[in-house]
Amino acid sequence: MPWSMEFTDEGRILKVLIQGHMSGPEVSEMTRESVAAAAKTQVTRIVLDCADAKIDVPILDVYKLPDLYSARGVSRQVHAAVIMPREGYRRDIYEFYEDVCRNRGYFVRLFEQEEDAWNWVRES
What does the alpha-carbon distance between residue 27 and residue 56 come to, in Å, rounded to a whole number? 9
Average pLDDT of the chain is: 94
CATH for 32: 3.30.750.24
Backbone φ and ψ of 75, nearest 5° = -65, 145
pLDDT above 70 covers a percentage of the chain that reads: 99
The 10s digit of each residue's pLDDT in 39-77 is 889 899 999 999 999 999 999 999 999 999 999 888 899
DSSP state of 85: P
Q: Is 93 a residue whose pLDDT tops 90?
A: yes
Under the banding of pLDDT at 50, 70 and 90, the label for residue 1 is low
Structural domain boundaries, residue 32: 3-123
Which pLDDT does position 39 carry in this prediction?
Answer: 87
Q: What domain count does the chain have? A: 1
